Structure 1
Amino acid sequence: MTTLLAALQRDSGPSSDFDLNPGVELPAGRKLRPAGVLVPVQMIDGAAQVILTKRASHLKHHPGQIAFPGGKQDEGDVDVVAAALREAQEEIGLSPENVRVLGTLPSHETVTSFTVTPVLAEVKAPFDFVPESGEVDEVFHVPLSHLVTPSSYVIEGRRWRGQLRRYYAVPYGPYYIWGATARILRGLAERVSA
């Protein structure tokens, strides 16, 4: 966790789904909704692992995509950190009492008009995943060492709204991690390797 704490001290600016697409013009005065995602790191057999989810395939937004547990900040949430902790408990059964928040990474703007704050956290003790069946198809681990290695990332592209959109991806085994999740992790990798 020392490496992660050091990475949190390094400066870097916010990121967005548009980082690799400089020709995109974002509307002036756009309203972004606050959201928080948990980047939970758990030690398993002496190796740091990041917990990720595979979103349910029937969801309207981002079906089947790999994501961090998290979501929009609700009225009852004190802040985006509280939103991330609440959502992690709802989505994967991770109790807030079993989490040590290390800090937050720079915000990330999504194409769906959210400003997402990644909350880097240590999972203090092993726990049984309890995927929320309405939102989560699967919960799994990816070695932190893979995710903080810049060479693990590739830039790919696909057509979106009639234009080629480029994005980061960080494949791992059967999991295709891309989009906002990969961009946030790429930002962490840049901080760790700086």
Structure 2
Amino acid sequence: MAEAGGLLSGGSERRCRERLAGAAGRGAAAAAAVLVPLCSVRGRPALLFTLRSRRLGGPHSGDVSFPGGKRDPADTDAVATALRETREELGLELGAERVWGQLRPLPDRQGQLVAPVVANLGPLENLTLTPNPDEVEEIFTLPLAHLLREENQGYTHFCTAGRYSYTLPVFLNGPHRVWGLTAIVTELTLELLAPDRYRRKTHMLARSPSV
């Protein structure tokens, strides 16, 4: 497979911004937002993930996730929510110019819509991250080249009432397994960045429960 170095280039950014422009306003009704942090590590394009602190308790404790959370009444839109949550969780102040746009909102396990906001952090070596230990247990990255290799892509079939209902993606062979809503957002991001190189794993045959 060719090196994924061009996926965060200026030409790729313009193409992605144009594709995402049609989603403007789609996150307005979302109850929460996450930041999808593109970055580079030693020159290699990557995605940054967090491992949620077990101190949080609840169903998402210890899960792999992107920075994010519920919309605050003071947040003007989904972008504001994602940037605020990133600042609170990672101590990282990002300007709106870093944001490329929004992917389509997705339902979480409770059925509430979550708006994924795509942003480019730039070289990770140039950033100082100060994760909040009450929310973030670990920060790790996965190169886009790793995520695009078929041997690192899996899927899980789900059944409802004894019948096949839907399939969701799983990303393997990294420090932690990426699954659930975070895997679906990762999949949408790979389709955005490399539409000719990623084959979708999500497949619905019937109305599935929220993920």
Note the alpha carbon deviations across 1:85-115, whole angstroms, 9 max, x for none.
0000111111123961111111111222221
TM-score (normalizing by structure 1): 0.77
1:171 is displaced (CA, Å) by: 1.5
Q: Supply the distance in 2 between the matched residues of 1:129 and 1:139 (Cα, whole angstroms).
A: 9
Q: Supply the distance in 1 between the matched residues of 2:97 and 2:172 (Cα, whole angstroms).
A: 27
Select 1:34's aligned residue among 31, 36, 50. 31
The corresponding residue for 2:93 is 95
The corresponding residue for 2:137 is 137
Q: Which moved more, 1:175-184 or 1:150-159?
A: 150-159
1:188 is displaced (CA, Å) by: 2.0
Note the alpha carbon deviations across 1:120-163, whole angstroms, 9 max, x for none.
1111462222111111100111112233x273421125789x99
1:75 is displaced (CA, Å) by: 0.1
Q: Which has the higher contact order (CA 8 A, sep 6+)?
A: 1
- Is the 1:55–1:138 contact (alpha carbons within 8 Å) kept by the matching residues of 2? yes
Q: Supply the distance in 2 between the matched residues of 1:187 and 1:88 (Cα, whole angstroms).
A: 20
- Give unmatched runs, 5+ long, in structure 2: 1-7, 24-28, 197-211
Q: Once the two structures are aligned, what percentage of the paired residues are identical?
A: 31
- Give unmatched runs, 5+ long, in structure 1: 15-31
Considering fraction of residues, name the structure with more helix. 2
- CA pair 34-47 structure 1, distance change in 2 beyond 3 A: same
The corresponding residue for 1:154 is 154
Aligned residues: 175
Q: C-alpha root-mean-square deviation of aligned residues, in Å?
A: 3.0
TM-score (normalizing by structure 2): 0.71
Q: Which moved more, 1:177-186 or 1:119-128?
A: 119-128
Map 1:1-194 onto structure 2 (within 5 A): 1=8, 2-10=11-19, 34-58=31-55, 59-97=57-95, 100-124=98-122, 126-147=126-147, 149=148, 151=150, 152-157=152-157, 166-191=167-192, 192-194=194-196
